[in-house]
């Protein structure tokens, strides 16, 4: 198996594993439907395997559910054997196809044992293996038989004694039949999304062939290539060709919007990009917390990774602005922020496959933040009940392993948000996964409440100063959250527009009979939980620290 020039790292690993005799069967998963740059052209994965990795092989079988089994190379060598064995056409069903390959390999071994022929090097590529050799079909007799045959190719006589290589191509490793996926004699490797160098190579080729799509043919594409990391080459090529046909050049702003659209589309709705023009300067209150986060962002921007946390836990009562703080962090850091959406699925193995896809994306993005809202519900639990067939426990294990990978420090930062952090597994909150836990708390004084209401009223062009609001005296509510303050500002705006009141009159009217949106006992309970979780009491106002003692 010759090593192609400028081969990607995963291909180098495959060649080493085969040439050393350590492995003869390979599972390629991940970005398997994209193109790969080879010289001045781009080819799909199947063609790359056949033309580059298997260029010295004499016979190559190729199988997928749509086309059945076919001979991609060496048809003339099997012509007599097929006729002698009365094979009338190549089989389309997977088990029959695998049996035919096994039969031919045994034939070659017998010839070699009798010294009648030199052994040919043979390979078999199973494309879309997760469609016919899947976890969902485990337990079905025909599927179990197929899994046994394919497993035997990796570790049973005579197949492992022959110059034989088999490739299983699947989108997600977790979707494959466990008999194959868990076989220690199988070498599994992830095909990653293209890096910046591969993206740059592709953009340079496209600029030559699709010049009308580029606003400045002489401009450097290095920055654009770096910004597009996380997008497949196929998506970029498709977009550029359409823009070139329309003679509409892509500008710098276009590339930013395009990346968001393409990544969200390729992630099949599993993630959402958070874009923000806010910074920590837009976040009001809790100055010790803002100072700590600002220092972290400065370390992040300077590339000083030693003291950076692996992750944050942002907790506090409902309405305290947890998501808004994440948006401020996103604007401050200047890196992509990926919000995990609902990745759970009812089909066996689909949820794990969705999570694998998300992990591939965030690793391809390089430096990014991963935001998990309602983390107490989304992350699963170590001990899951029988009602979900162990799904919650499996998802928990995958996320816990990913969060604790120290190689990600300074590259991937996890941000968990929850109003019930006590329901998150302790292991997920430990240092090494979540190093900093920040409580977001409501206002504790009339001055803080007045400042918060004044800031939110200004968004609606309502001129209410802090001194004006403090003049209302005891009517100024305490334990006010940003969510409640915003609802109050909207109500005041409505009164100004409909009842023709002044802003001050409308505020007095709205505060008369004001009821907090969250019952006070619930608010106090969630405050106690958040304060108990805080990694440093400096983040907790002095007036609320007594809640630690009573929690």
pLDDT for residue 9 is more than 60: yes
What are the tens digits of pLDDT across the range 445-480?
Answer: 889 899 999 989 998 999 889 998 988 877 888 899
Say whether 429 sits in a helix, a strand or coil. helix
Least confidently predicted of 376-385, 421-430, 533-542? 376-385
219 versus 280: the higher-pLDDT residue is 280
Least confidently predicted of 121-125, 361-365, 464-468? 361-365
Q: Tokens at residue 205, please?
A: 């080729």
Give the per-residue pLDDT at 495: 92
What are the tens digits of pLDDT across the range 491-507?
Answer: 999 999 999 889 999 99
Distance of CA 375 to the CA centre of its chain: 16
Least confidently predicted of 114-123, 433-442, 534-543? 114-123
Give the per-residue pLDDT at 11: 93
pLDDT for residue 266 is more than 70: no
What are the tens digits of pLDDT across the range 197-228?
Answer: 888 889 888 888 888 888 766 667 887 887 78
Mean pLDDT on 100-123: 87
Q: Please, is 414 exposed, middle or buried when counting C-beta atoms within 10 Å of its C-beta (0-12, 13-18, 19+)? A: buried
CB of 64 within 8 A of CB of 127? yes
Give the per-residue pLDDT at 388: 61
What are the tens digits of pLDDT across the range 246-264?
Answer: 888 887 667 766 777 767 7
Average pLDDT score over the chain:
86
pLDDT for residue 550 is more than 60: no
pLDDT for residue 551 is more than 60: no
In the block, tokens 């990795």 appear at: 53
Q: Which residues pair with 69 in a beta bridge?
A: 63
Residue 347: band (very low, low, confident or very high) from pLDDT cuts 50, 70, 90: low
Among residues of the chain, what percentage have pLDDT more than 90? 36
Give the per-residue pLDDT at 149: 95
Name the DSSP letter for residue 15.
Answer: H
pLDDT for residue 34 is more than 60: yes
Region for 216 from its dihedrals, namely left if φ exceeds 0, alpha if ψ lies in -120 to 50, beta otherwise: beta
Mean pLDDT on 351-361: 81
Among residues of the chain, what percentage have pLDDT more than 70? 93
Q: Tally Cβ neighbours within 10 Å of residue 220.
A: 9
Residue 99: band (very low, low, confident or very high) from pLDDT cuts 50, 70, 90: very high
- What stretches of 390-436 show up as alpha helix (H) in DSSP? 391-403, 426-429
Q: Name the residue among 188, 169, 197 with its Cα closest to residue 366.
A: 197
**CA 22 to each of CA 16, 53, 149, 158, 161: distance values in angstroms, whole numbers, following the listed order:** 8, 17, 20, 16, 12
Give the per-residue pLDDT at 218: 60
- What stretches of 216-366 show up as alpha helix (H) in DSSP? 222-227, 233-246, 252-266, 287-302, 322-333, 350-364
Q: Tokens at residue 121, please?
A: 């090097």
Give me the half-sphere count of Cα atoms (radius 13 Å) on the Cβ side of residue 394: 16
pLDDT for residue 52 is more than 60: yes
Give the per-residue pLDDT at 407: 84
Mean pLDDT on 60-75: 94
């Amino acid at each position: 198996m010759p090593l192609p020039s400028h081969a990607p790292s995963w291909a180098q690993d495959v060649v080493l594993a085969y040439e050393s005799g350590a492995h003869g069967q390979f599972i390629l998963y991940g970005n398997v439907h994209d193109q790969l740059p080879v010289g001045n052209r781009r080819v799909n994965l199947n063609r790359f395997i056949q033309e580059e990795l298997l260029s010295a092989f004499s016979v190559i079988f190729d199988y997928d559910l749509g086309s059945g089994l076919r001979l991609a190379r060496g048809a003339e060598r099997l012509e007599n054997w097929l006729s002698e064995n009365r094979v009338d056409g190549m089989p389309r069903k997977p088990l029959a196809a695998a049996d035919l390959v096994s039969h031919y390999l045994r034939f070659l071994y017998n010839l070699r044992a009798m010294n009648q022929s030199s052994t040919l090097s043979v390979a078999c590529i199973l494309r879309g293996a997760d469609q016919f050799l899947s976890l969902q079909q485990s337990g079905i007799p025909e599927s179990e038989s197929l899994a046994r045959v394919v497993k035997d190719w990796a570790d049973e006589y005579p197949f492992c004694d022959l110059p034989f290589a088999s490739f299983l191509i699947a989108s997600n490793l977790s979707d494959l039949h466990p008999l194959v996926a868990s076989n220690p004699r199988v070498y599994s490797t992830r095909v990653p999304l293209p890096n910046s160098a591969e993206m740059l190579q592709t953009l340079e080729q496209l600029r030559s062939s699709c010049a009308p799509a580029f606003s400045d043919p002489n401009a450097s594409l290095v920055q654009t290539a770096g910004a597009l990391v996380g997008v497949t080459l196929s998506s970029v090529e498709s977009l550029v060709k359409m823009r070139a046909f329309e003679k509409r050049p892509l500008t710098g702003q276009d590339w930013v919007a395009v990346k968001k659209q393409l990544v969200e589309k390729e992630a099949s709705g599993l993630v959402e990009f958070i874009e923000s023009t806010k910074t920590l300067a837009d976040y009001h209150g809790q100055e010790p917390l803002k100072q700590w986060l600002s220092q972290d962002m400065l370390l992040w921007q300077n590339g000083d990774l030693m003291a950076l946390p692996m992750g944050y836990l942002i907790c506090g009562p409902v309405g305290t602005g947890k998501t808004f703080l994440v948006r401020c962090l996103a604007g401050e850091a200047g890196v992509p922020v990926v919000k995990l959406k609902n990745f759970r699925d009812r089909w066996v193995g689909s949820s794990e496959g969705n999570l694998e896809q998300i992990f591939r994306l965030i690793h391809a993005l390089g430096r990014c933040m991963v935001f998990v809202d309602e983390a107490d519900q989304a992350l699963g639990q170590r001990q899951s009940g029988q009602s979900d067939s162990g799904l919650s426990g499996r998802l928990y294990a995958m996320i816990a392993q990913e969060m604790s990978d120290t190689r990600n420090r300074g590259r991937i930062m996890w941000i968990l948000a929850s109003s019930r952090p006590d329901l998150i597994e302790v292991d997920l909150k430990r240092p090494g996964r979540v190093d900093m836990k920040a409580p977001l708390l409501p206002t504790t004084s009339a001055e803080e409440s007045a400042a918060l209401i004044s800031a939110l009223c200004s968004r609606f062009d309502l001129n209410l100063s802090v001194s004006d609001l403090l003049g209302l005296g005891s009517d100024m509510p305490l334990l006010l959250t940003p969510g409640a303050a915003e609802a109050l500002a909207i109500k005041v705006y409505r009164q100004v527009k409909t009842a023709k009141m002044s802003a001050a009159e409308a505020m007095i009217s709205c505060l008369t009979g004001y009821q907090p949106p969250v019952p006070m006992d619930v608010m106090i309970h969630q405050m106690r939980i958040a304060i108990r979780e805080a990694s440093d009491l400096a983040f907790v106002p002095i007036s609320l620290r007594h809640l630690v003692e009573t929690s």
